[in-house]
Chain A
Amino acid sequence: MDKDLLGNRTTEVEREVARLYDALKALARRADAPPCVARNARKALTCLWQAANDLALVHEQLYDLGV
Chain B
Amino acid sequence: MNDQRYWNPKTETMPRGDLERLKLHKLRSLCSFAAEKSPFHARAFEAARFRPEQLKTLDDLRRVPVMTRAAWMESQAKTPLFGDLVAAPPEAAIRYHLTSGTSGRQPLRVLDGMKDWEWIAECWCYGFWAFGVRPTDTVFFAFSYGSFIGFWGAHYCCEKIGSLVLASGNMTTENRVKQIVEMGATTVCATPTYALRMAQVARESGLDLPGSGVNKLIVSGEPAGSIPAVKRMLEEQWGAKCGDTAGMTEIGTIMIFECDRQPGGTHIIEDHFIEEVVDPETLEPLPYGAEGERVVTSFGRGFLPLLRYRTGDLVKKVPHTHCSCGRTFDLYEGGILGRTDDMKLIRGTNVYPRAVEAIVREFDAIDEFQIVVWRKDDVQDEITVKVEVKPDRGAGADAMLAKLGGDLAAAHEGLRFNLERAEYGSLPRFELKAKRLKDERRRA
Contact = CB atoms under 8 A, between A and B. Distances in A.
A63 B11 contact: no
Contacts of B1: 11, 13
A26 interface: no
Contacts of B18: 6, 8
Contacts of B33: 61
Contacts of A32: none
A66 B26 contact: no
B9 to A, nearest CB: 10
B358 to A, nearest CB: 35
Interface string B90-118: 00100000000000000000000111011
B271 A54 contact: yes
A42 B94 CA distance: 12
B396 interface: no
B21 A66 contact: no
Contact of A66 (B25, B29, B114, B300): B114
Contacts of A63: 87-89, 92, 113, 302-303
B119 interface: yes
A8 B87 CA distance: 31
Nearest to B303: A63
A20 interface: no
A56 B22 contact: yes
A52 to B, nearest CB: 11
B384 interface: no
Contacts of A53: 119, 300
B327 to A, nearest CB: 14
A43 B94 CA distance: 12
Interface string B151-174: 000000000000000000000000
B122 interface: yes
B122 A56 contact: no
B101 to A, nearest CB: 27
Contacts of A3: none
A10 B10 CA distance: 11
Contacts of A61: 33, 87-88, 115, 302
Given A5-B25, A55-B10, A63-B88, A50 B302 contact: no
Contacts of A45: 115
A57 to B, nearest CB: 10
A50 B300 CA distance: 9
Nearest to B91: A66
B25 A47 contact: no
Given A6-B22, A11-B1, A63-B302, A54 B10 contact: yes
B13 interface: no
Contacts of B302: 61, 63
A30 interface: no
A56 B271 contact: yes
B418 interface: no
A27 interface: no
Of the listed residues B10, B89, B114, B303, the one surrounded by the most CB atoms of chain A closer than 10 A to its CB is B114
B86 to A, nearest CB: 10
Most chain A beta carbons < 10 A, residue from B26, B113, B115, B299: B115
Interface string A39-52: 00011011101100
A54 B29 contact: no
Given A59-B29, A59-B299, A50 B118 contact: yes
B115 A59 contact: no
A25 to B, nearest CB: 12
A42 B114 contact: yes
A13 B8 CA distance: 13
A50 to B, nearest CB: 5
Contact of B92 (A5, A8, A66): A66
Interface of B: 1, 8, 10-11, 18, 21-22, 25-26, 29-30, 33, 87-89, 92, 113-115, 117-119, 122, 271, 299-300, 302-303
8 contacts: A11-B1, A13-B1, A43-B114, A47-B118, A54-B11, A56-B22, A63-B303, A67-B115
Given A47-B118, A50-B122, A55-B10, 6 more contacts: A5-B22, A46-B115, A54-B11, A62-B115, A63-B113, A63-B303
